[in-house]
Chains A and B, each alone.
Chain A
Amino acid sequence: MKKIEAIIKPFKLDDVKEALTGAGIIGMTVSEVRGFGRQKGHTEMYRGGEYTVDFLPKMKVEVVVADAMADKVVALITAAAKTGSIGDGKVFVAPLEEALRIRTGERGDNAV
């Protein structure tokens, strides 16, 4: 199994979700996160004063899939989340030791 974590632009969440559900992925976890990469923060104005927002709002999508599906899911997320401008985000893939469905006790690929 692989755990795929994607940090994306908030307004791209719907596109990513649709791409994944369209490919048969039936579950995912989404959190509102803040951070920065090469894009850094940006400046805003309030009453004539500038201030910097260092941590920009992003969405983190977490999906756990069987090994065979991992490359396809990464490709789908990348395609759906891409705008081509700086700040599009990143995708991380990590091996996953175990998964367990609480209700039935199923384990491994059956549980995702």
Chain B
Amino acid sequence: MKDPGSGTRSLPWRIVFGLVLACLLAVGGWVFAQDKPAAPATPAPAAAPAPPPKPDPGGTTTGGIADVTAKEAGKPTLAEVADFAGHNRVSINLMWTLITGFLVMFMQAGFALAETGFTRAKNVAHTMMMNFMVYAIGMTGYWIMGFALQMGGASPLATLGGTGVLDGEFAISLFGKDFGLWGTKGFFLAGSTYDVGVFGLFLFQMVFMDTAATIPTGAMAERWKFSSFVIYGFFISMITYPLFANWVWGGGWLSQLGKNFGLGHGYVDFAGSSVVHMVGGVTALAGAMMLGPRIGKFNKDGTPNPIPGHNLPMAALGCFILAFGWFGFNPGSTLAGGDLRIAVIAVNTMLASASGAIFAMFYMWGKYGKPDPSMMINGMLAGLVAITAPCAFVSSFWAFVIGALAGLLVCWSVFFIERTLKVDDPVGAISVHGTCGAWGVVSLGIFADGTYGDGFNGVPSTVKGLLYGDASQLVAQIIGPIVNFVFIFGASWIFFKLYDVIFGMRVSPEVELEGLDVPEMGAHGYPEVHGPATLVHAMGASAVRPPSMSSMAAERSR
């Protein structure tokens, strides 16, 4: 049926459209008219005329000696040229670090969609807002003190201008060696750390921390008190994550295992299989164990029941956004756009994501008769998590293998966590990030091929794994995840236990059965799904009223 109003409505629109089009044509015609070579109406003066400015549509002449900042324009001295080159190098690196950091920030959206898609419609507002607020809460905690503990002793930042202001590392001395434990500079980014290099580094490290912080919200979804989550957000961003990250990336003791004890290049985790993902996955394990399974997840005899997520397209879209953000996560971890290894890193990253998804698909297809959508999504993420540590040190073949094994490992791990440990992880976060994170750092110790990493962690020569002649690197790569598990699981378990005893972490069974959205957040994620709008509004003291029939009729007849 045709809307009787459409005929009258379209006329003014046609007029507006016509006017806009006419304006565009007029302006365009005038602009192009200006481009015509100046008509020789006035004869050129005899004195040498300034040549008319020439455009450079081909891009071959733009940028040259005249663009080098010099006292005498167009004639820079060697020192001025060198200055300029150095400034350019740091510019490229800082810009690369920032832009890849922006990509990693977008992974928060990926996590939010993936986790919310894998949970039920009655809890969407709660799950989504945990993913949303962890960004804000984590960032605040990290600015207050997380960054200082992690990177306070990380100077000099070689690729970001060699700035030396992050020069405070607290260390204890054991066996005559220094064990760096945490940094002491950069609280609130104040004082001497008010510096461009430090700020660039802060942004990049902050979004990494937030990636770890948002992982447990998936495993602990659908039963976690929002207030407890808020306190947790400060805990992980201010204490556990920064400490472990300091030991690996901030110059702390794990990174010095090579220098101090001759174990390869020390513990190497290029972009954070363990620092980011395993920290998130292990924290998720402690939290999910403390909370216990969702009501209805396990039968009396201990067998698990599937609780399907409410929106598979949402979860798949989230996975794709994560895979896109990973192009910031891994290549950005060079902190240098001028380090051309970024091409290898990017290709390794995408190959591992492909093999992870493919092998998870074939495993589920073969074993259960169907290519399970949610496990294919987990498989792609598993490949990405695993390649995160070794991405800079392995060939494309081994990258594919690492991802493929991660795709299988994530399936086994999901069933082990659910059927053997009886831990309820609605989204598979413990397996994807914890298990495959550990596999990622170990795989580096096996497959690193010695083409990259000269001088990494202060050890001369390139990084080699077991297959390429350095077994001691593998030893370091095994120590790392063990330390990660013991420290992160222990500290998180104590924190969750204390919180649970004092305040309680889990919502009441009534709230859980009704859905957390209204009791915890005050609003349904999908109001219309839970009944007509009038019914939903009647549940609260809302003053919102549907428009009266008479006003709707008046609207229509206009």
Contacts and interface: CB of A to CB of B under 8 A. Distances in A.
A45 B371 CA distance: 10
Contacts of A45: 306, 368-370, 372
Contacts of A50: 306
Nearest to A48: B368
B367 interface: yes
A49 interface: yes
Contacts of A46: 306-309, 372, 374
A49 B370 contact: no
B374 A47 contact: yes
A41 to B, nearest CB: 14
Contacts of B414: 47-48
A44 B370 CA distance: 10
Nearest to A44: B308
Nearest to A49: B306
Contacts, number: 33
A51 interface: yes
Instruction: Determine which residue in A48, A49, A50 has the highest number of CB atoms from chain B within 10 A of its CB, and name it.
Output: A48
B486 to A, nearest CB: 29
Interface in A30-77: 44-51
A49 B369 contact: no
A49 B303 CA distance: 10
B369 A48 contact: no
Contacts of B369: 45
B372 A47 contact: yes
A50 B367 CA distance: 13
A18 B391 CA distance: 60
Interface in B350-371: 364, 367-370
Contacts of B304: 49
B305 interface: yes
A45 B306 CA distance: 8
B305 A47 contact: no
Contacts of A51: 305-306, 308
A51 B369 CA distance: 14
A47 B308 CA distance: 8
A48 B307 CA distance: 11
B375 interface: yes
Interface string B297-311: 000000011111100
B415 interface: yes
A48 B368 CA distance: 6
B416 to A, nearest CB: 12
A49 B305 CA distance: 7
Nearest to A50: B306
Contacts of B307: 46
Interface in B10-31: none
Interface in B290-334: 304-309
Interface string B358-398: 00000010011110101100000000000000000000000
Nearest to B415: A48
Interface in B405-430: 411, 414-415, 428
Nearest to A45: B370
B422 to A, nearest CB: 14
Contacts of A44: 308
Interface string B465-498: 0000000000000000000000000000000000
Contacts of B364: 48
Nearest to B312: A46
B359 to A, nearest CB: 15
A44 B312 CA distance: 14
Instruction: Determine which residue in A47, A48, A49 has the highest number of CB atoms from chain B within 10 A of its CB, and name it.
Output: A47
Interface in A88-103: none
A57 B308 CA distance: 17
B350 to A, nearest CB: 25
9 contacts: A44-B308, A45-B306, A47-B306, A48-B364, A48-B411, A48-B415, A49-B306, A50-B306, A51-B306
Interface of B: 304-309, 364, 367-370, 372, 374-375, 411, 414-415, 428
Given A45-B306, A46-B372, A50-B306, 6 more contacts: A45-B370, A45-B372, A46-B309, A48-B414, A49-B305, A49-B306
- Nearest first, the 5 closest Cβ-Cβ pairs linking A and B are A49-B306, A46-B306, A46-B308, A51-B306, A48-B368
